[in-house]
Structure 1
Amino acid sequence: MSLVEGLGRVAGRRSGHGVHILRRGREIAALSFGDLYQQAGRVATGLLARGVVPGDRVAVVLPTSVEFVRAFFGVLAAGAVAVPLPAPAPFSSSRTYLRRTTMALRQSRVRLVLTSESIAPVLTRSMLTASGSAAVVDVRCVMAEEATFVDRADSHEALVQYTSGTSSDPRGVVLSHGNVAAGVNAIASGTRLTDADIGCNWLPLFHDMGLIGSFITPTMHDVDIYLQPPEAFLRDPVNWLRTITRVRATFTMAPDSGYRYALQRTGPEAVGDLDLSAWRIAVNGAEPVDERLQRAFIRRFARAGLAETVFLPAYGLAEATLAVTFPPLGQPTKTIRVSREALGRGRCEAVTGTPGAYRELVSVGRPVAGMEVRLVDDQANPLGEGVVGEIHVRGTSVTAGYERHPEATRQVACPGGWVATGDIGVWHAEELYIVGRSKETVIVFGANHYASDIESVVRDIFGLRVHGVLAHQVEGHDGSGLGLIVESNERAPAAQESMSARIRSALSAELGITATHITFVGRGKIPRTSSGKMLRRSGLEVDDRGAADRRSRILLQK
């Protein structure tokens, strides 16, 4: 069954459920699933009249809006393949935006771009440097009077999901209708999602967690969805919590940093105005899960009725149409304390004692329906419990490869239909625990340390006001070492020296290592992916304005 057929079945239920768009906590637009189905068909008619044929790539470049959702399903209704891409973000680098957008347009050989009147001029300039002659069209000008729905099979391509990889340039994950259908059904099964649920999310719709988890999954299961743009959440996350209170939302998805941001920006005085008792599932994924953050979040909002079992730490990736593992519902998060030294040797050994001796790992559960997961060593030999290895996945929701990128596809494709994720994990009591990424280790004093572990220690230093931390390998005449890029508004040299001393002291006490280079940059200067994760690339540096970039000619200095 195609995704459009699935939408048609939901529309036929006439529940009145649909998509609600919010700005500053107020609903500014809404579209029922019944109206969405019909309007998607009208967009499809307009696309076909403009020469789009089944299989063509059509980009959707729009912010969170009813225009986005009708354009997305309109592309699918025409039998074409949707390529969701970010709209220009306020205060972002136009050069970086146009470079990434042009790369995606060129790689996917996009036939047509659906956007808005205000964004079209920016994209038209970008198209001048992209190959082909794709037209840039305001989606409001495409809708015809009649609706058309082109039949597509499970095996037909539906979506090219550009990843926001932290260690490489973005790649287009090609997903079929069958892949996406299997993925959303696995999410719905793992969360026991029903039409009585209500979603409330702020993730961008061009990103896999926002598109598949926050939008397509609820839509395919007739779940009312309240969506606000990510910039509105960043401006005032309390409005998100107030909306959850007002609409009695039950279902959210966000990365660990999103929940952390909401916690930091919501003071105790605001909690009394909230009622979060209906909130039953807060999926936490897309980046390492910090159980200390989850505990602090639950403590803060317990007075507002938040259940202690609300968090669902998950593991997933775009190549698997999002979900790979979920823990059981209705249970507190499981953690294990393991020896840091043993992890560096590839073993999982439970320990007790001082925090510096152990690392707390969080269970992300077991494979979702239709998914297989294995851990392997460097020679792709399967590993048993307690041994750290690379995570491989296989299943009906897993991609067959990347958009016109055979080399990237060969890098992840393994015999037997397995796909290498680049993530590192360990089995314990038949549940998966994420350790890190294979490309995100830093060698200090001959031992491997996971970058996320180092960054966590720095972030948790009491009273240290930092906005972001990036750990990376540095090479010098005296060998390799640990470098840190620290985002802070503190510019005074004496203050930075004091912060450096505290950071080195904490790393020494917790991990037994020190940083050879610490560079301070302004807030927001660490390069990030479209989903907010920090980019991890070799040659990362800092220019004379304090902005981190990829130029290799400037060595990071203390």
Structure 2
Amino acid sequence: MALLTWLENPPADRGMRILDRDGSTWSFYSYADLALLTRRAASRLRAAGVSAGDVVVLVRRTSPEFMADFFAALLLGATPSPVAQPSVLRDRTAYLNHLDRIVRMVSPSAVATTDDVAAIIEPVVGAHGCAVVTDIPDDIAPLETRAATPEIGVIQFSSGSVGPPRGVAVPFASLQSNVSAMHTWLEITDTDSYASWLPLHHDMGLVGMFLLPIEGVSDMWLMQPEDFVRSPLRWLRCFGDNGATVTAMPAFGLAHIAGRVRQDQITELDLSRWRVAVVGAERIHAHVVRRFLDLLAPCGLRPEVVVPAYGMAESTLAVTGSPCAADLSTMTVDGRRLALGSPVHVVTGEGEGTTLVACGAPIRGVEMRVVDEDGGPVAEGTLGEIEVRGESLAAGYVREAGSIEKFGGVLRTGDAGFVRGGQLYVVGRLGDGVKRYGRWLFAEDAEQVATRVSPRPRQTVALVGSFEGRDTVAVLVEGGMEAGAEHIGRTVARHLSGLRVIVFVVPRGVVMRTTSGKPRRRAMWGRLVEGALATNLVWDSDALADGARA
């Protein structure tokens, strides 16, 4: 029950700080203020018909109201389910179809949102007969009683890198287990405070950067994702001026900071108190970590602050994590010799192979192993599929009308990796690769090569699959990089001999990503094959082989 105990005696000197919309000031909301708001929100939800066993969908930005509605649902014995706001997706029709699918899946009794969003979503939500609630009245009496904790503590929607987002039903016990285990893993103390820009409808933002600090009744400095994109320097100052010590982010956040913040902007910044930066959600590139650390080292940032991890919504959040205050552990392997069930070959030559970052060992309450195609365990140093069990595992995927397709206590993740020295190395998604002569080529391998030579790594994505009858690497580069496209293509082809490599220039915004920053490769590959992507072919290794180009 630790996740709810903050409501019993909430402090007035700690709480949540939200960056205002003008991006210049922070508004403070104490835990005492938030507890009162939560109990009022619970009365408002109960008046709207919410009761134990129901689901409440939250369509809110990071805000005190999000926190109030989330915990208000739990106080009523209902299950909160955070969902992205319309602004996250550019296509309004696509968003409403997305929301309609979610509402059909979880059958909520209420949707909590803001007035402006309510006007957009009410036709969809109203068609399913559920209430839409917005403001939390000051004059409503706060709820004094509490129902039994719901069996399902939250329904998280996975990022959808392999297809449409899926609702993951996380039992309250699993939620509590993972949060408590992370508290131990990260060696959290009463002196820690958190800073985050992650959206709260995403598992890393919700569990790692929202519920984890709330369990410890810690201070939080929270900003919207778009504010971080516009000004990563403003976020960095949370660790200098404001004294935050803990954060988490996908690896692309490090790359964004390294690419947007200049050395002359941070000469007065003191980051010596920054203790933990958990990095996960996608393959972690060692060169990106080094660029980030090199930029901030003059500010006192210690290299051991970066803590690589591996996790997913299906296991609540964290599966494995590197020890705190440990040096970055890497290994370079021969990507051309990767085969499921076979030993991974380590490369020692300078500039050769694929460099992987170790993501640590399983955290408390989580069991992880690597298995072969038949589900049997493989030896250390052997490539296989990552399998997860344990206290943090979700119940399963939510299907329409609220039924749950249960995991049965074990999850085959679809991610390939291996264990060496007790640490997990994640190689890539099995669905984002091709098997050639018994060996696997992963899209992440091709992308690592392409982004190293791309002038805009964030706007460069590699896809792998069968194209026009050939196993092909397709590199998408967004507009403005035509001049560098040939160099990218030649470099990838040189590292991946025997495969066709094609480079397309696409309009800005075409590269599709999940809310955690992972490329939606499967969706983009499907659109590419169907001819639905606006592309301009600028380089083709087959054309070179035929002598069509110099």
Any idea what SS the aligned residue of 2:303 has? Answer: coil
Contact 1:18 1:31 in 2 (8 A): yes
Corresponding residue of 1:309: 304
Corresponding residue of 2:3: 3
Shift of 1:259: 1.2
Aligned residue type for 1:403: V
Contact 2:48 2:110 in 1 (8 A): no
1:160 aligns with 2:152: no
Match of 2:370 among 368, 375, 380: 375
Q: Distance in 1 between matches of 2:359 and 2:343?
A: 18
RMSD: 2.5
1:485 aligns with 2:476: yes
Q: Distance in 1 between matches of 2:457 and 2:516?
A: 23
Q: Distance in 1 between matches of 2:373 and 2:419?
A: 17
Corresponding residue of 1:400: 395
Match of 2:28 among 24, 30, 46: 30
Q: TM-score, normalised on structure 1?
A: 0.90
Contact 2:321 2:363 in 1 (8 A): yes
Q: Distance in 2 between matches of 1:444 and 1:69?
A: 49
Aligned residue type for 1:311: V
Please list every run of 5 or more consecutive structure 1 residues that lacks an aligned counterpart in the other structure.
Answer: 491-495, 543-547
Corresponding residue of 2:284: 289
Deviations 1:356-394 (A, max 9, x none): 3x2111111111011111111111111120111111111
Q: Distance in 1 between matches of 2:121 and 2:138?
A: 17
TM-aligned CA distance change 1:53 to 1:91, over 3 Å: closer
Deviations 1:388-430 (A, max 9, x none): 11111111111111113699976x836xx22111111101011
Aligned residue type for 1:8: L
Q: Distance in 2 between matches of 1:143 and 1:320?
A: 40
Match of 2:129 among 130, 133, 138: 133
Aligned residue type for 1:511: L
Corresponding residue of 2:143: 147
Any idea what SS the aligned residue of 1:139 has? Answer: coil
Any idea what SS the aligned residue of 2:123 has? Answer: helix
Corresponding residue of 2:486: 501
1:76 aligns with 2:74: yes
Aligned residue type for 2:434: V
Any idea what SS the aligned residue of 1:247 has? Answer: coil
Aligned residue type for 2:394: T
Corresponding residue of 1:533: 518
Q: Distance in 1 between matches of 2:112 and 2:189?
A: 32
Q: How does 1:427-442 map to 2 (within 5 A)?
A: 427-442=419-434
Any idea what SS the aligned residue of 2:393 has? Answer: coil
Shift of 1:39: 2.1
Corresponding residue of 2:13: 16
Q: TM-score, normalised on structure 2?
A: 0.91
TM-aligned CA distance change 1:513 to 1:505, over 3 Å: farther
Shift of 1:2: 6.5
TM-aligned CA distance change 1:387 to 1:465, over 3 Å: closer
Q: Distance in 2 between matches of 1:333 and 1:304?
A: 19
Any idea what SS the aligned residue of 1:287 has? Answer: coil
Shift of 1:127: 2.2
Match of 2:407 among 390, 413, 426: 413
Corresponding residue of 1:355: 351
Aligned residue type for 2:463: A
Q: Distance in 2 between matches of 1:502 and 1:75?
A: 54
Q: Distance in 1 between matches of 2:444 and 2:407?
A: 26
Q: Distance in 1 between matches of 2:145 and 2:284?
A: 41
Any idea what SS the aligned residue of 1:140 has? Answer: coil
1:232 aligns with 2:259: no
Contact 2:55 2:78 in 1 (8 A): yes
Shift of 1:469: 1.1
Worse overlay, 530-539 or 46-55: 530-539
Deviations 1:233-285 (A, max 9, x none): 01111110122211111001110001110111001111203111110100001
Shift of 1:221: 0.7
Worse overlay, 75-84 or 33-42: 33-42
Deviations 1:290-333 (A, max 9, x none): 11111121111111110111100001111111011111111111
Contact 2:55 2:106 in 1 (8 A): yes
TM-aligned CA distance change 1:377 to 1:409, over 3 Å: farther
Q: Distance in 1 between matches of 2:524 and 2:456?
A: 27
Corresponding residue of 1:545: none
Contact 2:44 2:136 in 1 (8 A): no
Contact 2:83 2:201 in 1 (8 A): yes
Deviations 1:87-133 (A, max 9, x none): 121772212222212211111111111111111101113325x5x20
Please list every run of 5 or more consecutive structure 2 residues that lacks an aligned counterpart in the other structure.
Answer: 538-550
Any idea what SS the aligned residue of 1:204 has? Answer: coil
Worse overlay, 139-148 or 345-354: 139-148
Q: Distance in 1 between matches of 2:436 and 2:401?
A: 35
1:451 aligns with 2:443: yes
Contact 2:462 2:476 in 1 (8 A): yes
Deviations 1:150-188 (A, max 9, x none): 2324x7112100111211211111112211111111111
TM-aligned CA distance change 1:288 to 1:349, over 3 Å: same
Corresponding residue of 2:59: 61
Shift of 1:557: 7.2
Contact 1:466 1:488 in 2 (8 A): no
Deviations 1:22-55 (A, max 9, x none): 1355444322222222321221122112221111
Q: Distance in 2 between matches of 1:63 and 1:371?
A: 31
Contact 1:43 1:142 in 2 (8 A): no
TM-aligned CA distance change 1:34 to 1:108, over 3 Å: same
Q: Distance in 1 between matches of 2:117 and 2:26?
A: 20
Corresponding residue of 2:335: 340
Match of 1:512 among 490, 494, 497: 497
Q: Distance in 2 between matches of 1:475 and 1:102?
A: 33
Any idea what SS the aligned residue of 1:164 has? Answer: coil
Worse overlay, 446-455 or 242-251: 446-455
Q: Distance in 1 between matches of 2:515 and 2:523?
A: 19
Match of 1:272 among 267, 287, 295: 267
Deviations 1:205-225 (A, max 9, x none): 111100110011001011100
Match of 1:250 among 238, 245, 251: 245
Any idea what SS the aligned residue of 2:50 has? Answer: coil
Q: Distance in 2 between matches of 1:268 and 1:312?
A: 23
Corresponding residue of 2:112: 114
Aligned residue type for 1:413: F
Aligned residue type for 2:132: V
Residue-pair matches, total? 535
Match of 2:385 among 390, 395, 403: 390
Q: Distance in 2 between matches of 1:229 and 1:171?
A: 23
Q: Percent identity?
A: 32
TM-aligned CA distance change 1:524 to 1:210, over 3 Å: same
Shift of 1:514: 4.9
